[in-house]
Amino acid sequence: MAGQGALTLTLAEIAARLGGDVLGDPETRVTRVATLASAGEGDIAFLANRKYRSQLQTTQATAVILGPDAADAFGGPRIVTANPYAYYARVATLLNPLQVSFSGIHPSAVVESVVPASVAVAAKVCVGKNVVLGERVVLYPGVVIGDDVVIGDDSILYPNVTIYHGCKLGQRVIIHSGTVIGGDGFGFAPEGQNWIKIPQVGAVTIGNDVEIGSNTTVDRGALDDTVIGDGCKIDNLVQVAHNCVIGANTVLAGCTGIAGSVTMGEHCIVGGAGMISGHVTLAPGTVISGGSLVMKNITQPGLYTSVFPLDTHDEWVRNAAHIRRLSKLADRVAELEKKLKEQENEG
Catalytic residue among 242, 267, 279, 313: 242
Q: Which of 91, 81, 90, 121 is nearest to 103 (CA)?
A: 121
Query: What are 146-188's pLDDT values in tens digits?
Result: 999 999 999 999 999 999 999 999 999 999 999 999 999 999 9
Res 2: pLDDT:
42
Q: What is the pLDDT of residue 99?
A: 87
- The gap from C-alpha 149 to its chain's centroid, in whole angstroms, comes to 22
* Residue 179, burial from CB neighbour count under 10 angstroms (0-12, 13-18, 19+): buried
Known catalytic membership, residue 106: no
pLDDT at 29: 97
Cα 258 to Cα 278: distance, rounded to the nearest angstrom: 7
Q: Which residues of the chain have pLDDT under 50?
A: 1-3
> Could you give the count of Cα atoms lying within 13 Å of 144 in the half-sphere of its Cβ?
11
Tens-digit pLDDT profile for residues 3-30: 455 689 999 999 999 999 999 999 999 9
Q: Are 278 and 241 in contact (CB under 8 A)?
A: yes
Q: Tell me what pLDDT residue 5 has.
A: 54
